[in-house]
Amino acid sequence: MSSTLTPAPGAAPLPAMVRAQAAYEVRALLRNGEQLLLTLVIPVVLLLLFGATSLLDLGPGRRVDFLTPGIIALAIMSTAFTGQAIGTGFERRYGVLKRLGATPLPRSGLIMAKTISVIAVEILQVGAVVAVASALGWRPHGNPASVAFLVLLGTAAFSGLGLLLAGTLRAEATLAAANLVYVLFLVLGGVVFPLSEFPGAVASALGLLPISALADGLRQVLQHGAALPGKDIAVLAVWSVAGPALAARFFRWE
Amino acid sequence: MAPPARRVDAAVELDGLVKRYGTTMAVDGLTFHAARGEVTALLGPNGAGKTTTVEICAGFRRADAGTARVLGRDPADRALRARVGVMSQSGGVPVSARAGEFLRLVAALYADPVDPAALLDRLGLTEHARTPYKRLSGGQRQRLSLAAAIVGRPELVFLDEPTTGLDPQARHATWALIEELRAAGVAVVLTTHHMDEAERLADQVYIVDRGRVVAYGTPRELTGAERQLRFRARSGLGLDELLAALPPGSAAKESPAGYYLIEGEIRPELLATVTAWCASHGVLTEDLRIERRTLEDVFLELTGRELRP
């Protein structure tokens, strides 16, 4: 590094740019108190609350085996969708995206960095949830690769939907909408309340939500040892294509 | 007015640039050139189209008509991003980012950046390196934006009102940095509505009003060789009578009350005539001085004195 201002223009190599931006994004996500509440505190508290007590009728089987996959799905949604929508919405509002557009970091590099940071935070979240669940006596089944595949599809779907909100609505509207969707999906998406509690037709419709497909898919694998839950994967696959495609089509950078 | 002559070493060439927002003409046929190793100032009142012009050059917006070349390329060309630094008024720094953290992040996007710590130090930001952007003062934010615009060692920088809101110390630190950029061969384009800034820093000044260039040249060319005579005296002197005693082509006015300005060819005889006329009317002149026109005089002459909404 130099201390002279003599021109020596040039972009850093793309991997170095993406690494720097991703490291910054992770720090920004972890520094934000409200985000941490959403991404870590709420999932862990829900797991403890409903896992260790019998406040909720979770149907047959051990409570923690039902709850943990749903809580993992909630954690994925909170980071990929809610956190990303709110963070990016305010970045857009404060001209951060426009400012970054004046640097050598291409938009594809920014998207890569955001994706890496989301996955990094998800690893932390899943680690915390698994630790708490294990303490409650959780014993998962199934193939870890199936779990990873479901999580990746869910991440793509929720990231696309989060960026769609962030790139089309005002920042305040994004904040409100992202939090509202979080709460609705938490209640209606089979996260902690089994979909079987709803009337049949409603349950089938709710089953098409990305959160329900992710929660149910994870449950099929982790609770019941399924190899690849076909219907859930099909639903998630549609969302994971539609979300990013809609975001790419409608996202406005400023 | 005739467009400026084409320059071989032009870093920025704008010809007949037009940008409309709805029915408003933000930029209305603007032509200007900026050279490497020079400071080029776009001087104009608020709403003159300066920021829009910079945003077109930075690739943030596209012009509706006219041509824009930046380092010989279309401003939208991504290859320019590594070569051009932009300091915009909106900042664009994440509110929770710490000053040092943000500058290190921007530096990491370039191949051979300036040491961010050294740059923070030069701009008096070292003790705020760990302060989140949202808690920086307006002047500190400005300096951080400036640092981010130049940390990648660009060939060309656009600085949109770089010293607005700065205290005198920070202003001088910024000016010194801009002069150093020029000495290093960087093409500096800055917008300002501070006459003293343009007069002090700029090699070329373009006076912009209502989206057009109304005058351009070196500060010296713009202010011209014309001198003027100013003095203070009791208000309400009979200026018509005084003017009759002066050479033809002279002008005299009182504005505000008690402040007098004589324009024209200021020669020793004229000075003697004015003081003799005052003496014969029992008027004591104070603060009598002969001065060159300032850029502010030229600016107000060209852009009018009425307040803009």
**Chain position carrying tokens 């994440």:** B94
- Which neighbouring-strand residues pair with B30? B17
- Per the rule left: phi > 0, alpha: psi between -120 and 50, beta: everything else, B17 is beta
Give residue B116's pLDDT: 96
| Pairwise pLDDT comparison (B41 vs B6), residue with the higher score | B41
- Tokens coding B84: 């051009």
Maximum Cα interatomic distance, chain B, rounded to a whole number of Å:
74
- The DSSP call for residue B164 is T
For residue B247, pLDDT over 80 is answered with: yes
- Using CA atoms, how far residue B40 sits from A152, B187, B236, in Å, is 51, 8, 43
Give residue B91's pLDDT: 80
Residues of B in contact with A32 (CB under 8 A): 96
Residues of B in contact with A31 (CB under 8 A): 96
For residue B82, pLDDT over 90 is answered with: yes
Give residue A115's pLDDT: 92
Give residue A149's pLDDT: 96
User: Which of A103, A107, A108 is the mutation pick for testing B, counting most B CBs within 10 A?
Assistant: A103
Mean pLDDT of B33-40: 94
Mean pLDDT score of chain B:
89
What's the pTM value of the predicted model, to 2 decimals? 0.84
Q: How confident is the model at residue B1 (pLDDT cuts 50, 70, 90)?
A: low
User: Which of B36, B105, B155, B186 is the mutation pick for testing A, counting most A CBs within 10 A?
Assistant: B105
* Every domain of chain B and the residues it spans: 10-83+154-223, 97-151, 227-292
**Chain position carrying tokens 């609705």:** A184
Q: Which of residues 72-131 of A touch B (CB under 8 A)?
A: 90-91, 94-106
- The DSSP call for residue B301 is H
ipTM: 0.86
| Pairwise pLDDT comparison (B59 vs B9), residue with the higher score | B59
Q: Please, which residues have CB within 8 angstroms of residue B11's CB and are 6 or more apart in sequence?
A: B34, B35, B36, B70, B71, B155, B156, B187, B189
- Are the beta carbons of B186 and B200 closer than 8 angstroms? no
Closest to A20 (Cα-Cα) out of B284, B258, B103: B103
- Tokens coding A111: 């998207």
- Are the beta carbons of A126 and A40 closer than 8 angstroms? no
Q: Taking the CA atoms of B240, B246, B252 and B257 in sequence, report the sign of the dihedral they define.
A: negative
A4 part of a folded domain: no
Residues of A in contact with B155 (CB under 8 A): 7, 9
Q: How confident is the model at residue B306 (pLDDT cuts 50, 70, 90)?
A: low
Mean pLDDT of B19-48: 91
Where does B10-83+154-223 sit in CATH, by number?
Answer: 3.40.50.300
Q: Is B230 helix (H, G, I), strand (E, B) or coil?
A: strand
Q: Which of residues 178-237 of B touch A (CB under 8 A)?
A: 180-181, 184-186
Burial class of residue B116 in the structure, from the number of CB atoms within 10 Å of its CB (0-12 exposed, 13-18 middle, 19+ buried): buried
A164 part of a folded domain: yes
Buried-exposed string A113-122: b where 16+ CB fall within 10 A, e elsewhere: bbbbbbbbbb
A39 part of a folded domain: yes
Cβ–Cβ contact A17 with B under 8 A: yes
Give residue A148's pLDDT: 95
Q: How confident is the model at residue B7 (pLDDT cuts 50, 70, 90)?
A: low
Whole-angstrom Cα Rg for chain B: 23
Cβ–Cβ contact A252 with B under 8 A: no
Q: Which residues of chain A are under the pLDDT cut of 50?
A: none
A247-251: list long-range contacts, CB under 8 Å, 24+ apart.
A247/A159, A247/A160, A247/A161, A247/A163, A247/A164, A247/A167, A250/A164, A250/A167, A250/A168, A251/A163, A251/A164, A251/A166, A251/A167, A251/A168
- Are the beta carbons of A248 and A164 closer than 8 angstroms? no
Give residue B287's pLDDT: 87
Cβ–Cβ contact B72 with A under 8 A: no
Closest CB to B184 among A6, A98, A99: A6
Q: Is B207 helix (H, G, I), strand (E, B) or coil?
A: strand
For chains A and B, count residue pairs whose Cβ atoms are closer than 8 Å: 126
Cβ–Cβ contact B307 with A under 8 A: no
Domain count, chain A: 1
Cβ–Cβ contact B60 with A under 8 A: yes
* Digit-coded pLDDT (tens) for A161-220: 999 999 999 999 999 999 999 999 999 999 988 898 889 899 999 999 999 999 999 999
Least confident of A177-191, A210-224, B28-42, B237-251: B237-251
For residue B2, pLDDT over 60 is answered with: no
Residues of A in contact with B110 (CB under 8 A): 9-12, 104
Tell me the C-alpha distance between B80 and B98, whole Å.
27
Give residue B307's pLDDT: 58
* Digit-coded pLDDT (tens) for B84-127: 999 988 788 999 999 999 999 999 999 999 999 999 999 999 99
Maximum Cα interatomic distance, chain A, rounded to a whole number of Å:
72
Tell me the C-alpha distance between B216 and B200, whole Å.
15
- Per the rule left: phi > 0, alpha: psi between -120 and 50, beta: everything else, B161 is left
**Residue-range definition of the domain harbouring residue A145:** 15-51+58-250
Give residue B162's pLDDT: 93
* Digit-coded pLDDT (tens) for B150-199: 999 999 999 999 998 888 989 999 999 999 999 999 999 999 988 889 88
Interchain CB distance below 8 Å, B112 and A96: no
Cis peptide before B256 (omega within 30 of 0): yes
Residues in chain A: 254
- Tokens coding B241: 């009578």
Cβ–Cβ contact B100 with A under 8 A: no
For residue B60, pLDDT over 70 is answered with: yes
Mean pLDDT of B133-141: 93
- Report residue A154 CA to chain centroid gap: 7
A170 part of a folded domain: yes
A238 part of a folded domain: yes
Interchain CB distance below 8 Å, B114 and A32: no
User: Which of A5, A96, A112 is the mutation pick for testing B, counting most B CBs within 10 A?
Assistant: A5
For residue B8, pLDDT over 70 is answered with: no
Tell me the C-alpha distance between A106 and B300, whole Å.
43
- Are the beta carbons of B84 and B71 closer than 8 angstroms? yes
- Report residue B238 CA to chain centroid gap: 38
For residue B47, pLDDT over 90 is answered with: no
Q: Which fold has domain B227-292?
A: Alpha-Beta Plaits (3.30.70)
